[in-house]
Chains A and B, each alone.
Chain A
């Protein structure tokens, strides 16, 4: 990858730079608060590379969760990535070995950049995509390391820092709520999980909740899908 490509990709990634440094730092701090130092933070950010997934990972490590639960919860929190891949099938075609990295590094933010940003004149598009993805992950790893080091150097009371995960999901939910054609999926998800929590308790709440959600959404498809298709057909005024 040449300097010209990096120079073209960098300005596009600046918003992600700010975001990943900050959210990565919160991750480093959270991990530090349960006793894992900077090496662990860098390792997780290098090989997992998922914001909400790693936040959840901290609570799983803190709880000493069994591997089956780790696998299941990681699957749930990353489920939305399936959608991202579907819309990147064309863009990544013909990228050779770099395609593996592109798929590995397809986070929410990189997805957002790749969906909208265009390679400037004279820069090969696939090089540009690769540079954007690589820069984004470097910010994430850097943020995680800085957060972890700050946590151990300052030694301040980090009680409550885990609320960053709740806040992150709330922020995602607000964005989804505004963009959604129907609020039924979000309301259903909340209600089903609450019901599951009350019936089976906090330990095993997620699997029943997810089962209810998938079954209910499949049954509601005639209604929700029809609405979506109608909206697509209606031209904007």
Chain B
């Protein structure tokens, strides 16, 4: 816990307000029957996959290639998540299976 309770509350408040704004913006801008500009609709359609890809790379920013433990667990568990999802198509099985696998790898195998 590097933050004080007040700083934590401030962070949570910022997350809450920004999250609400992202959900409210379309209603604030286009609820009077105006049609959203075509560029907005286009970006709304093509941005989500690009941003999820961005966040995956962001999640994996700590990967290092100097030791086996620096890259094998995230690579193996990431592959497990994708393969489990292609196979079963169930969010929970994929997320939990991959996370438990990762925890076993970092705690047991590459500790």
Q: Do A and B come from one complex?
A: yes
Q: Using a CB–CB distance below 8 Å, which chain A residues touch chain B?
A: 18-19, 22-23, 26, 34-36, 40, 43-44, 47-50, 52-54, 56-57, 60-65, 67, 70-71, 74-86, 88-89, 92-93, 99, 103-104, 106, 157-161, 163-177, 180, 182-183, 185-190, 192-194, 197, 202, 205-206, 209-210, 213-214, 217-218, 221, 224-225, 228
When A and B form their complex, which 4 residue pairs have the shortest distance between CB atoms, in order from nearest? A85-B26, A189-B50, A189-B53, A64-B2
Inter-subunit contact B48/A80 (CB<8 Å): yes
Most chain B CB within 10 A, of A48, A71, A82, is at A82
In the complex, chain B residues whose CB is within 8 Å of the CB of A161: 99, 103
Q: Do most interface residues of chain B lie in helix, strand or loop, or is the interface mixed?
A: helix
Nearest CB of B to A185, in Å: 4
Binary A-proximity of B20-33 (CB < 8 A = 1, otherwise 0): 10111111001100
Other than the known A67-B14, A104-B20, what 14 A-B pairs have Cβ atoms closer than 8 Å? A23-B95, A40-B8, A44-B15, A83-B45, A99-B27, A159-B106, A164-B95, A169-B52, A174-B86, A188-B53, A192-B50, A192-B54, A205-B58, A225-B38
Inter-subunit contact B54/A193 (CB<8 Å): yes
What size tier do the contact residues of chain B reach?
35 or more
In the complex, chain B residues whose CB is within 8 Å of the CB of A186: 49-50, 52-53
In the complex, chain B residues whose CB is within 8 Å of the CB of A61: 1, 3, 8, 11
In the complex, chain B residues whose CB is within 8 Å of the CB of A177: 49
Q: Using a CB–CB distance below 8 Å, which chain B residues touch chain A?
A: 1-3, 7-8, 10-16, 18-20, 22-27, 30-31, 36, 38-39, 41-62, 73-74, 77-78, 81-82, 85-86, 91-92, 94-96, 98-99, 102-103, 105-107
Nearest CB of A to B100, in Å: 9
Inter-subunit contact A36/B1 (CB<8 Å): yes
Q: Of A36, A82, A157, which is within 8 A of B8 by CB?
A: A36
Most chain A CB within 10 A, of B53, B59, B103, B105, is at B53
In the complex, chain B residues whose CB is within 8 Å of the CB of A225: 38, 42
Q: Do most interface residues of chain A lie in helix, strand or loop, or is the interface mixed?
A: helix
In the complex, chain B residues whose CB is within 8 Å of the CB of A193: 53-54, 57-58
User: Can you name the residue of chain B whose Cβ is closest to the Cβ of A60?
Assistant: B11
Nearest CB of A to B20, in Å: 6
